[in-house]
Amino acid sequence: MSSEQEWPPLPPFRTGVHGRCPRCGQGHLFNGFLKLRPHCEVCGLDYSYADPADGPAFFVICFACVPSVILALWLEAKFAPANWVHLVTTLPFMLLTCIPPLRPLKGWLVASQYFFKAEEARFGMAAPRQQSAAPPENTDRRPA
């Protein structure tokens, strides 16, 4: 396909959660469980811009791990069960609430980066100054 073709903006949540290309919505985003493909097989979009870093893990920790730990602490405080009970109840609950959301969250973050044209931040760079036509009036700073 031509790289000059106009693509309609697609919602990042819909394309990302389903693991689809953020530009065309048809190609696949992933090559495995969490590994991104190098490019879209349909429209040829290069995925090298995408860097969700630890974003998916952060969201999973905040919204899934915390309730899992609260469940484990509540079980321990309320019933004081043997350790095998935690292995049978808390561990599967934690795995089921932490692992499945990683892929949709990563897809959503990658699609959001494309949709909002996210770039790396550039802190500390001075804005370009405009050159004045006339030289400064008094450049000599020696006392008279």
Amino acid at 87: L
What is the pLDDT averaged over residues 111-129? 81
Q: Which residue would you say has higher pLDDT here, 90 or 119?
A: 90
Predicted TM-score of the model (pTM): 0.76
What per-residue confidence (pLDDT) applies to 133?
A: 57
What per-residue confidence (pLDDT) applies to 19?
A: 96
Backbone angles phi, psi at 75, to 5 degrees: -60, -45
What per-residue confidence (pLDDT) applies to 129?
A: 64
Confidence of residue 6 (pLDDT cuts 50, 70, 90): confident
Sorted by where each begins, the domain ranges of the chain are 12-115
**Cβ(40)–Cβ(27) below 8 Å:** yes
Q: What is the mean pLDDT of the chain?
A: 87
What per-residue confidence (pLDDT) applies to 5?
A: 78
Q: Which residues, other chains included, contact 103 with Cβ-Cβ below 8 Å and sequence gap of 6+?
A: 19, 30, 33, 34, 56
The 10 Å Cβ neighbour count of residue 49 is: 14
Instruction: Of 30-34, 57-61, 96-100, 123-127, give the lowest mean pLDDT range.
Output: 123-127
The 10 Å Cβ neighbour count of residue 80 is: 8
pLDDT tens readout for residues 28-47: 999 999 999 999 999 999 99
Backbone angles phi, psi at 115, to 5 degrees: -60, -45
**Cβ(3)–Cβ(40) below 8 Å:** no
Instruction: Of 87-101, 103-117, 118-132, give the lowest mean pLDDT range.
Output: 118-132
